[in-house]
Structure 1
Amino acid sequence: MEAIVAGLGEGERPPVERKDALNQRLRGLGNVRIAGRLAVPPRVMGKAAFVHLSDGISRLQIYVRKQDAVAISNVTGDALPEEGAAWEVFGNLDHGDFIGVEGYLFITNTGELSVHVEKLQFLAKAMLPMPDKMHGIADPEIRQRQRYADLIASSLQIEHEALTTREVFERRAKLISSIRNYLEAHGYIEVETPMLTPKATGAAAKPFVTHHNALDIELYARIAPELYLKRLVVGGFEKVYELNRNFRNEGISYKHNPEFTMLEFYCAYMDVNGMMDFCEELLRESVQKATGGLKLTYEGNEIDFSSFRRLTMREAVGGDGLSDAELLKEFDGRVEETLIQPTFIVDFPKSVSPLSKASPEDPRIAERFELFINGMEVANGFSELNDPREQYERFVDQMNERDRGDEEAMVMDEDYIRALSYGMPPAAGIGIGIDRLTMMITNKHSIRDVILFPHMRPERKGHEADEQAGEE
């Protein structure tokens, strides 16, 4: 259907006086077959009717005349012998039903491309009323909980200023595709590492826990694939990436979802500065491909992806005499939200960077950066610590933090230490949050609006909702 509509061109429809000549040419093209959802209730005028079909992207008008159309059996695929069967089928159609039609193209007196139906087949019934075609679904919880209805509403809307729901997820798909293409063009290999792991490692976060019955062991939904990917660097994969979901059993907010999509990649013989350069190039290319430009509006701010600032954390905070804890508190509480344009914050304290190599100029500082855009962390990367003895000591420090009550501190991973002991080349790595990046390129405030099926509280039944309202 989209190809038929695009083939004629919305802006190229001829004036009415030329329609007869064009209709002759259209008849010469032969019949077309299309299928879709009734985008509007049927408009019946005596023994003829018009209605628009939608395939979720485009819509095309069909014209049904009682004496012209035949009904097609869903069982045999043959025409039904009863006279007027197609008109009877059409008369029982409702807004949202699916039909398939075959007929020839023509231009109406108003200049609209249409299909004159010769064969009509009923395909599926909509048992619930369709969403409002003018306003869609206003309640954000319903949109997120019933994404199928949200997508239907998106396809039925006639006019809209912002991206439709479908366009949001199409743009997300373009972003991901562009990222993959860029990485693979630069020699990176995509891999898949375990989603269920025996150790809750790879990042500082609280994990989801499950039990493997056959092995009788606890497993953890992965927090991050980092340590597995670096094992592959040890094994000889010099450029490797994974684009998949991570899980963190933590709070939900407009920028946090317990299940989220993360890109992680690692490159041997690269350091933190080279990784920042590569990150800039990757994001510029991917944003350009996904949106058509490098400047976009997010929550009223114009974000320019053509240039990225670099500041040390102490420069950003403006406090040379602060301790590590004070520095981090000031940055999180006061500075982070002010970083609107793409900004790399570098020189994190080593104490909060257990997998990062220390700076040779100052061993208290990690060769680490985080990228902030519009006050949100979008990426985190560093020069990878490849000394197994120092990594072991860092894990011990993390275990001590756990003993003091920090549930998000890392646990010891002896197998990772063993892998490093075989020798890992100097390398840099990065994690980029795909969901947050999608929020920015689609101008969506909530992460739930860029995840097809975000985590929600269980839906309350009618009587439960009434009881809760009574208690309140």
Structure 2
Amino acid sequence: MSNQNVENEALSLNEMLQIRREKLKKLQESGKDPFKIEKYEKTHQTGDVKDKFEELEGTEVSLAGRVMSMREHGKASFIDIQDEDGRLQIYVRQDAIGEDSYADFVTYDIGDIVGIVGTVFKTKRGEMSVKASSVTLLSKSLQILPEKYHGLKDTDIRYRQRYVDLIVNPEVKQAFITRSKATKALKEYLDERGFLEVDTPILATLAGGASARPFVTHHNTLDIDMYLRIANELYLKRLIVGGFEKVYEMGRMFRNEGMSIKHNPEYTAIEVYQAYADYEDIMKLTEESVAYMAEKSLGTTKINYQGTEIDFTPPWKRLSMTDAIKMYTGVDFDKIDTDEEALAIAKEKHLEITPGMNRGYVINAMFEEFCEEHLIQPTFITHHPVEVSPLSKRNPDDPRKTNRFEAFVNTWEIANAFSELNDPIDQRQRFMDQLKQRELGDDEAHVLDEDFLNAIEVGLPPTGGLGIGIDRVIMLLTNSPSIRDVILFPTMKPIVKEEKTEQ
């Protein structure tokens, strides 16, 4: 397209926008300013007309929605309006609403929001419709919606202007309805089993409970740096110390890390803690609760994700981390006892060798590099090395391992859980080991939280804990290829307008 054509197209768009403003001005000058209307009484949704047509045929209804199409035929017109339920055809005749009202009506634009009072009927072609007796302009759209057939396909614009995306791509709305049903179901599952929903700080003086880089902000009055939470684990365990036996919290977490189709800096997770339970109990809770989410939101525990059939029906497959490595690489780390042997294998497999790397870190790196890609059906990977599990209880049969699991689906980790470490002496040493990793350059290693150590010195009962990444589960349930498809307003890079340089 030539520069002249681009300029002409832009001019045409600007003219159309100006025409809409002029229409609004005329309405306001004639005392018909739509923005002065505060309320409109609706009796039905468009879905009611379709679902209860036989009951409603011939009766008067009051609807409201956005004009999505207009077809004018002289003194009669058809429009489609869209509300939360969907679209419905409206038949508007001049002799039914009055000459003056019809003259105003034909100046309305696609995108305007209108109120309709009329009678439910079926056209000669058999389409369920409403014959209008009055049409009220409730809000004037001063922008232009994307063209009907091409729609809004640019994903960047879709995510930035989600409000337009929801209008012109109705299937997008369904994903968020499914999300709401699924998260409600998860809470319902926990509530019915005696868990208490609680709230813990989002802003704190320490960022602990996970291995991640936090967002840092500053509290002016206290003149101290504070952190958006990377996890709520340590606060929830404090509540178990205090005497609550079953607690959970669903909310936003914040990690100052990369962005991808599976990662958003701000995301939703749920953490669940149960006193006097172990990781085996939590494993059962995990598979049952995720299956319950699927059943309640979709009516089935079997889904199709991007062409792959996935079955959430419990029980899920269980596989230790070292067994998974042996299965997919042939290397048996249960027979490798020294750091030197492990590092030699890491070099042989061309893994990155980082400062302070030992056998436990090599096992974790081997798993991530060679095993995760094979975990399509729901699978619990158990018994992670103690080095990468600073809050997990050691396995009594092999103290180099922990009683921990991660749940994988479609190669993604969707949950992390363990029998919580409640030995304050061991926990302090684990934190000290993490500090050494920070000194070696790992800025995602855990910080030392003295108050949390004090809490478990007071006494933390045997406890099972769980964290589920809600957004990833919703991606699976809604067949969404990107995490941005299941977050209403995902994090986006700001648009920077280039300044014109002088010639």
TM-score by length of 1: 0.88
Matches of 2:318 and 2:66, distance apart in 1: 51
Partner of 1:89: 104
Query: How far apart are the structure 2 equivalents of 1:331 and 1:2?
Result: 58
**Structure-1 separation of matches of 2:43 and 2:469:** 33
State yes or no: 1:114 paired with 2:129. Answer: yes
Q: Deviations over 1:165-219 (max 9, x none)?
A: 1011111111101001111011111111000010011101111000111111110
Tell me the alpha carbon deviations over residues 56-98 of structure 1, each in whole angstroms, 9 at most, x when there is no partner. Answer: 432121111112215xxxxxxxxxxxxx221121111111111
Secondary structure, counterpart of 2:152 in structure 1: coil
Match of 2:309 among 302, 321, 338: 302
Greater displacement, 415-424 / 129-138? 129-138
Deviation at 1:5, TM superposition (A): 4.7
Aligned-partner Cα distance in 1 for 2:49–2:113:
24
Give yes or no for contact 1:33–1:102 (8 Å, CA) kept in 2.
yes
Cα deviation code 1:265-295 (max 9, x no counterpart): 1000100111101111111111111111111
Amino acid of the structure 2 residue aligned with 1:118: S
Secondary structure of the 1:409 match is coil
The aligned counterpart of 2:425 is: 389
Matched, 1:171 2:178: yes
How do 1:110-149 and structure 2 match up within 5 A? Answer: 110-149=125-164
Structure 1 contact 132–153 (Cα < 8 Å) conserved = no
Distance 1:138 1:51 in 2: 24
Question: Which amino acid letter does the alignment assign opposite residue 309 of structure 1?
Answer: K
Kindly tell me: are residues 241 and 218 of structure 1, through their superposed partners in 2, closer, same or farther at Cα, counting changes over 3 Å?
same
Q: CA deviation at 1:337?
A: 1.1
Deviation of the 1:4 alpha carbon: 5.3
Contact 1:89/1:122 (8 A) holds in 2:
no
Aligned to 1:370: 406
CA–CA separation in structure 1 for the residues paired with 2:199 and 2:192: 19
Q: Deviations over 1:105-140 (max 9, x none)?
A: 222111222222112211111222212333431111
CA–CA distance in 2 between the matches of 1:275 and 1:100?
52
Deviation at 1:366, TM superposition (A): 0.7
Separation of aligned partners in 1, 2:114 and 2:88: 13
Query: What TM-score, normalized by structure 2, do the two folds share?
Result: 0.82
Q: In structure 1, give the amino acid aligned to 2:158.
A: R
Task: Tell me how far apart the structure 2 counterparts of residues 6 and 59 of structure 1 sit (CA, whole Å).
Answer: 8
AA partner of residue 293 (structure 2): S
Name the CA distance, whole Å, in 1 between partners of 2:150 and 2:411: 31
Distance in structure 2 (CA, Å) of the matches to 1:423 and 1:166: 47
Structure-2 separation of matches of 1:271 and 1:53: 54
Equivalent of residue 39 in structure 1, options 68, 72, 76: 68
Shift of 1:390: 1.4
Question: 4+ runs of 1 displaced by more than 4 Å?
Answer: 1-10
> SS state of the match for residue 379, structure 1?
strand
**Distance (Å, rounded) in 1 between the aligned partners of 2:275 and 2:45:** 49
2:361–2:387 Cα contact (<8 Å) kept: no
Return the alpha-carbon distance in structure 1 between the equivalents of residues 455 and 365 of structure 2. Answer: 35
* CA distance in structure 1 between the aligned counterparts of 2:209 and 2:43, rounded to whole angstroms: 45
After superposition, the Cα gap between the structure-2 partners of 1:6 and 1:140, relative to the gap in structure 1 and judged at 3 Å, is closer
* SS of 2:477 mapped into structure 1: helix
Q: 5 Å matches for 1:60-459?
A: 60-70=88-98, 84-155=99-170, 164-307=171-314, 308-318=316-326, 319-320=331-332, 321=336, 322=342, 323-459=359-495
Inter-partner Cα distance in structure 1 for 2:288 and 2:260: 30
State the SS of the aligned residue for 1:68: helix
- Contact 1:13-1:112 within 8 A present in 2 as well: no
Q: CA deviation at 1:396?
A: 1.1
1:411 Cα deviation (Å)? 0.9
Distance change in 2, residues 1:208/1:8 (3 Å): closer
Number of residues of Structure 1 aligned to a counterpart in Structure 2: 431
Residues 1:26 and 2:57 are matched in the alignment? yes
Q: CA deviation at 1:6?
A: 4.2
Alignment-derived partner of residue 18 in structure 2? none
- In 1: Cα distance, 2:165 partner to 2:53 partner: 31
Partner residue of 2:30?
A: none
> Cα distance, 1:9 vs. partner?
4.5
Question: Identity across aligned pairs (percent)?
Answer: 47
What letter matches 2:73 in structure 1?
M
The whole-number CA distance in structure 1 between the counterparts of 2:197 and 2:140 is 42
Q: 1:93 and 1:244, CA in 2 relative to 1: closer, same or farther beyond 3 A?
A: same
Inter-partner Cα distance in structure 2 for 1:7 and 1:138: 30
CA contact (8 A) 2:46 2:88 kept: yes
State the secondary structure of the residue aligned to 2:187: helix
Q: Distance in 1 between matches of 2:190 and 2:200?
A: 18
In the alignment, structure 1 segments of 5+ residues that lack a partner are: 15-21, 71-83, 156-163, 468-472
Change (3 A) 1:146 1:244: same
User: What is the Cα deviation at residue 259 of structure 1?
Assistant: 0.6
Gap change, CA 1:275 and 1:458, over 3 Å in 2: same
CA distances 1:2-33 after superposition (whole Å, capped 9, x unpaired): 955544546x978xxxxxxx9xx833x3x211
